[in-house]
Amino acid sequence: MRRQFLFIFLALIVANTSQAQTRSTRIGYIDMEYILENVSDYKEATAQLELKAQKWKQEIESKKLEINTLKENLKAEKALLTKELIDERETEIKFLETEMLDYQQKQFGADGNLIRHKTALAKPIQDQVFTAVQDIAEAKNYDFVFDKSADLTMLFSNKRFDISDQVIRVLNRTDKREQLTKKQLKEQEAKENIENAIDENPALKDRQKVLDDRKAAREKLIQDRKLEQEAKKKEYDDKRKAIAAEREARKNGTVSEPAKTDGTTAKPVETTEPKTTTVEPPATSSKAEERQKLFEQRKKELEERKKKILEEREAAKKAKEAETQKTNTTNN
């Protein structure tokens, strides 16, 4: 059967080549198993079916334990039983074993409930996949589209001919079509067209990866600047609060000094004022030193961040050059 199929396949290719010499034959393939694993409805239904299968397995194990218990009891009491009772119990055990095997075959056999349920779950998704494949083939002029997970043996398949991701996007777009507005639908289609173009062209895929890396670096730089601004703002607020607290403390100190008795208070007031003036310079100098340390620390952090960004850009540039060289070698 497979030889006949391959013979028909080769004959179709030869016929197509002779009829369309002006253009090359376009061949694509899908992986049905991969598509089913990435469809949410199928995954949910499969999970529910798996719960049923676990329940069936537990029932089978329970029957096996019951049969083993009967066998052990018969073995222990066999010397005390008559031949008629022994035959009766052996008949009962054999009946239970046959019943258990029939139940196991019914649930997990080649034509059992598990296989039939899986087929029933996959059938509507497969129909949608076939429709999506036809639409993609007509839109992009594919001559043949094969299923990699089918009986046909594919010894080698280039990833750029795999349209499975395109099929998944079509299925998801169909599910979300009713929930999207016209504007959102147009944006979604434009995004899918870009993704399809990237899938078909490896060079675009590499370029898109470089753009994504640059975008991530820019976003990280913006985030770092934002954090730096927030840190500066917090530092400014802390300084302002400290100055306000210092002024309030001075104010409270000058108010409390005149509360002392008689004329003796005048002299201490005169002596306290010079003391405050002599204490202020060390405080201002320490603040200046702190500001200088913070400035140097921020400068060091900015230099390290700048160095890291340059290293990331250089690494991305080298990766791009390596991919370009690899592409050129493969093309040659």
pLDDT per residue over 146-180, tens digit each?
A: 888 776 677 787 888 888 888 888 887 766 655 55
What is the number of domains present in the chain?
2
Residues 148 and 210 in one domain: no
What pLDDT score does 91 carry? 94
Determine the average pLDDT of the residues in 288-317.
84
Average pLDDT of every residue of the chain: 77
- Any idea what DSSP says for residue 178? G
265 domain-assigned? no
> Which of 157, 109, 150, 114 lies closest to 130, judged by CA?
150
What pLDDT score does 191 carry? 67
> What band does 258 get if pLDDT is binned at 50, 70 and 90?
very low
100 domain-assigned? yes
For 86-142, write each residue's pLDDT tens digit. 999 999 999 999 999 999 999 998 889 999 998 888 888 888 889 989 988 888 888
> What band does 5 get if pLDDT is binned at 50, 70 and 90?
low
133 domain-assigned? yes
What pLDDT score does 176 carry? 60
Tokens 């194990």, residue located: 61
Using the Cα atoms of residue 27, residue 175, residue 194 and residue 186 in order, give the sign of their dihedral. Answer: positive
For 25-65, write each residue's pLDDT tens digit. 888 888 888 888 888 888 888 888 999 999 999 999 999 99
Domain that holds residue 251: 204-256+307-332
Q: Is the pLDDT of residue 260 over 70?
A: no
- Is residue 136 a contact partner of residue 167, using CB atoms and an 8 Å limit? yes
The residue among 105, 134, 163 that closes a domain is: 163
> What band does 261 get if pLDDT is binned at 50, 70 and 90?
very low
- Is residue 20 a contact partner of residue 26, using CB atoms and an 8 Å limit? no
What pLDDT score does 276 carry? 44
Residues 125 and 242 in one domain: no
Top-confidence residue, 150 or 254: 150
136 domain-assigned? yes
Residues 159 and 248 in one domain: no
Give the Cα-Cα-Cα angle 63, 65, 67 (nearest 5 degrees): 70
For 184-196, write each residue's pLDDT tens digit. 656 666 666 666 6
286 domain-assigned? no
The residue among 163, 194, 215 that closes a domain is: 163
Q: What is the pTM of this model?
A: 0.44
124 domain-assigned? yes
- Is residue 142 a contact partner of residue 26, using CB atoms and an 8 Å limit? yes
The residue among 107, 132, 163 that closes a domain is: 163
Q: Which residues pair with 162 in a beta bridge?
A: 29
- Is residue 229 a contact partner of residue 223, using CB atoms and an 8 Å limit? no
